[in-house]
Chain A
Amino acid sequence: MIGQDTMVNCRVRLARNYTDLPFDLQKRPNDAERCIQRTVNALELSGLGESFHLLRLREMTASQKEALNEKHLITKDLLRREETAAVLLNENMDLSVMINEEDHLRIMAVLPGRSLIQGEGSCFRIEEALSEHTSFAFDPQLGYLTAYPTNTGTGLRASMVLHLPMLTLDKQMGTMNQMAAKVGLTIRGLYGEGSEALGSLYLVSNNATLGRTEHEIVSTVDAVALQLGQLEQQLRERYFLQQRAKMEDEAGRAWGILRHARLLDVKEFFKLWSSVRVGALAGMLPVDAVSLDAMLENAQAGHLKARIGEDLSDERLLEVRADFVRRVLKEKQQEDV
């Protein structure tokens, strides 16, 4: 379907709290432990226990934590609470339950492509299983109660990661953001600071969690993401028809650097990755979008460190990243031949 080429992955997050515990358990190790045990027990009683394994943050290595954060299965906020925090992960590594983050539970799904509805379903399957054996803080008027009032109600945040290089080039993202704000959504750069969006990667997500049904939230994010994807696609097609040589040149040069560079910093990697992805989807390069999207996480510091070993200096990291990218693209090229 048109527009789907721009959709990198999507995430759904559900915030829940137990009725009888204060929200912040950082300074209450006993309650924090009770919260972990209760969650694990409820999951086991519901029969889902076997699909998940528990990791306590204080028992994990730095690179393990960094890699999970890069996969968006745990957040920086959880890392800040590592003494009391834990996470339940499934085998596929696409579902997680963060325990003792800002809220007692953050049930999350991270799935490739356009699969928000599937992600929503997965999160609620876990939530329903847990609520069979526990009680979540709920108010008939305000819905599910959360530590911050920004998550009250459904506790649901639906996000989609989009690759929008042509809309960025065309300086349309400011307008797109204003339009999205009108339907209660925010668009922000996935990586980078301020208005910078490294690799032209954006995160579209809902602001409001109260006063709308879960389905309304998910379908609004999905619809806006699809619309942005379609606009991006139209611009790409126009670019392809009108300036094909330029498009091929950009993609080819980026490919050349990624295939042969010996040192690669993360900003440069994102920029080149973006051009290669556009070229690959236009059939100009021997690599598919799925491999490129997987590379996005794998070329980041935590994943590289986890693969190589703990002690990687900044200098060495550039080298390891370049090696990794070169190897993946070489394999793809050979497959193609």
Chain B
Amino acid sequence: MLCDECRQKEAAFTVSVMIQGTSTIRHLCPECHQKLNRQIRAGNLQELLSSILKAITAKTVSEEAETGLSFDLPEELQEQEKTGPEPVCPECHTTLSSFRKTGRLGCPACYQAFRQQLQPMLMQIHGHVAHAGRVPSSSREARRHRSRQEELTRQMAQAVAQEDFETAAALRDQLKALSEEEEAQ
């Protein structure tokens, strides 16, 4: 999804804004999100409000419009980040701060590495943290296992026939691992 503000970069943050008692969701890229944060810190609410209004509706809204802003990360977590060692993904070595900067995760394992930080963010973006949709079909999974098993068995028979026992042993180990994996699932 593109950023609602600049419409050029991918949105990574979701901000809810109260305008005349109605909450509106805005999706921002890291840069625009930072800009918004700076504006709030600078206390420039008027400018902030006008930029939000400009983007969500062409209608003029009275100057008394109330604003309330909430952000993706609870303060206590931000504090915690400052004090503890920085989490790093063991697979792709993406650091939490680089994820914060780009809004982009490095690999599937990042979800595990940054799970704690991701939960509140996902809650903000989606209003949920639990998947309710489709899952990879277990029957498909099983079918794939079977065809892999057949392939390995065939290769092993071939290796034995060629008296290549080293390869055959390696293939036997792979087959064993495969059936253990299946049992675990």
- Residues in chain A within 8 A of chain B (CB atoms): 17, 19, 21-24, 77, 102, 124, 128, 131-133, 135-145, 147-154, 156-157, 171, 173-174, 177-178, 181, 184, 186, 188, 193-195, 207-214, 216
Contacts and interface: CB of A to CB of B under 8 A. Distances in A.
B1 A181 contact: no
15 contacts: A22-B107, A23-B107, A124-B134, A128-B140, A131-B140, A135-B144, A140-B135, A142-B111, A149-B125, A150-B27, A171-B58, A171-B59, A195-B55, A207-B1, A209-B126
Contact of B56 (A153, A195, A213): A195
Given A138-B136, A210-B129, A174 B59 contact: yes
B182 to A, nearest CB: 14
B36 interface: no
Contacts of B11: 148, 150
B108 interface: yes
B34 interface: no
Contact of B128 (A23, A148, A210): A210
A147 B128 CA distance: 18
B19 to A, nearest CB: 8
B131 A153 contact: yes
Interface of B: 1, 4, 7, 10-12, 14, 22-25, 27, 54-59, 91-92, 103-108, 111-112, 118, 121-122, 125-137, 140, 143-144
B122 A132 contact: no
Given A173-B58, A194-B55, A213-B132, 7 more contacts: A23-B107, A142-B111, A145-B108, A149-B125, A154-B131, A171-B59, A195-B54
A124 B14 CA distance: 28
Interface centre among B11, B104, B108 (most CB of A within 10 A): B108
A142 B134 contact: no
Contact of B12 (A21, A124, A132, A150): A150
A144 B136 CA distance: 9
A211 B22 contact: no
B133 A154 contact: yes
Contact of A211 (B1, B4, B103, B131): B131
Interface centre among A141, A208, A211, A216 (most CB of B within 10 A): A211
Contacts of A19: 108
Contacts of B132: 153, 210-213, 216
B103 A148 contact: yes
Contacts of B54: 194-195
B100 to A, nearest CB: 12
B50 to A, nearest CB: 12
